[in-house]
Structure 1
Amino acid sequence: MFGHLLDTLAAQDLVLMWPLLLTFLTLDASVGVGLIVPGDALLIVAGTTAGSPPEVLALIAAGVVACVAGASGGHWAGRTLGPRLRHGRLGRRIGEERWERAEELFERSRWALAVAYYLPVVHALTPAVAGALGMPYRRFMPWAVIGGTAWVSTYVTLGAVAGGVVREHAELLLPVAAVAALVIVAVSAAVRRAISPGRADSPEPSSASRPPR
């Protein structure tokens, strides 16, 4: 049954999927939709509808464009609203802990801004935090583009592979879904570990702490 559904979706024009990806991922980081519905799941579902490599690439392109738009909107909101965004009604609903977790990314190296896309919820806040902390747009966006491209490509491709397997072997639906979920959890855990305080780049030793020559 699910295999038949995937075949039906794959037969549809990509015009039906593009607006969904563009709208959701644009709102994901610009107004915080990603705080409610993780974009990872949407990307995987979108990938299952692709019936050929060109369709996979088309979905990835749409997703990247939307990520850039969402990151731009989130950065603008953070720069414009600043503390009001964090301490307002929406900010309080998000929770101080999530804001602090997003801020911690700025205490790591800049590449942490890119891999933050693999952290559900947190990545939806990082553009606004970057803007609120005064990070210039031209410095923030290259990392957002790199991270968004990697994130979208990973999960759309995973969805396409999973969808292809299920179309051929419908009885593998549950195992394939479980593997996809485990991949998301494993990637998220690996990223959290990589950017944890213990993994942060250590500062250069001071002259007083250097061993004598």
Structure 2
Amino acid sequence: MFGDLLDALAAQDLLLVWPLMLTFLTLDASAGIGLIVPGDALLIVAGTTAGTPSEAVALVAAGVLACVAGASGGHWLGRTFGSRLRHGRLGRRVGEERWQRAEELFERSGWALALAYYLPVVHALTPAVAGALGMPYRRFMPWALVGGTAWVSTYVTIGALAGGVVREHAELLLPVAAVAALVIVTVSAAVRRMVTAGRAGSPEPRSAARPPR
């Protein structure tokens, strides 16, 4: 049954899957969808639809394009509306702790901004925080591109491998799904430790008004 489901997903035309990925990931960071639905899971599911390596590459390309659009939109919103986003109704529901966590990324190297893509919720806030703090788009975008490319490539590849295994061995669906979930949790935890260690090892945090180059 589940093997048939994955076969049906893989049979879907990329012209159908692409718009869905583009729409969701664009809204992920620009409209805050990533605060509600983790993009990691979406990328893995999308990856299961790839029946060939070329289709997986096409999905990665679509995902990266959407990440660029989403990060650009989020940066513009932050620059335009500033603290109103943070202190508005939605911002209060997100919670001050999560806003502070996203803001702290700007006290460390640009790599922390790239790694933020592996932190659920936080990565959806990062573009808006960058814009609100006045980080120039030309400085923010290269790190967003690096992080988005790595993030999309990682989880689409995991999804493609998982989908291939389950199509051959449908009885392994639950173990494969459990492994995929464990990978997401492990990667997120590892990145969080790296970012925290970077903060602890920084002798003098940079001012939020002067984000990393």
TM-score by length of 1: 0.93
Distance 1:73 1:199 in 2: 28
Shift of 1:11: 1.2
5+ residue gaps in structure 2? Answer: 205-213
Tell me which residue corresponds to 2:12.
12
Give 1:150-169 correspondences, 5 Å limit. Answer: 150-169=150-169
Per-residue Cα deviation, 1:100-137 (whole angstroms, up to 9, x for no partner): 11011111211100000000000000000000000000
Which stretches of structure 1, 4 residues or more, deviate above 2 A after TM superposition? 197-204
Partner of 1:210: none
Tell me how far apart the structure 2 counterparts of residues 75 and 11 of structure 1 sit (CA, whole Å): 36
2: CA distance between counterparts of 1:85 and 1:68? Answer: 20
Q: Which residue of 2 aligns with 1:46?
A: 46
Structure 2 counterpart of 1:20, which letter?
A: L
Aligned-residue Cα RMSD (Å) equals: 1.1
> What's the TM-score once normalised by structure 2's chain length?
0.93
Match of 1:97 in 2: 97
2:116–2:122 CA contact under 8 A, matched in 1: yes
Q: What is the CA distance between 1:78 and its match in structure 2?
A: 0.2
Structure 1 residue matching 2:202: 3-state secondary structure: coil
Mapped contact 1:78–1:130 kept (Cα < 8 A): yes
- Matched residues, number: 204
Q: CA, structure 1 residues 199+100, in 2 after alignment: closer, same or farther (shift >3 Å)? A: closer
- Residues 79 and 132, structure 2, Cα contact 8 Å, conserved in 1: yes
Match of 2:194 in 1: 194
Question: What SS class does the counterpart of residue 135 from structure 1 fall into?
Answer: coil
- Structure 1 equivalent of residue 207 of structure 2: none
**Structure possessing the higher radius of gyration over alpha carbons:** 1
The CA deviation at 1:203 is 3.2
Label 1:185 to 1:28 Cα distance change in 2 as closer, same or farther (>3 A): same
Give the share of equivalent positions with the same residue, in percent: 85
- For the 8 Å contact 2:108–2:202, the answer to whether it is kept is no
The reply on whether 1:74 has 2:74 as its aligned counterpart is: yes
Work out the CA distance in 2 between the residues paired with 1:81 and 1:130.
Answer: 12
3-state SS in 2 of match to 1:17: helix
1:131 corresponds to which residue? 131
Q: Structure 2: how far apart are the matches of 1:131 and 1:22?
A: 22
Unaligned 5+ runs, structure 1: 205-213
C-alpha displacement of 1:197: 4.8
How far apart are residue 9 of structure 1 and its match? 1.2
Shift of 1:200: 4.5
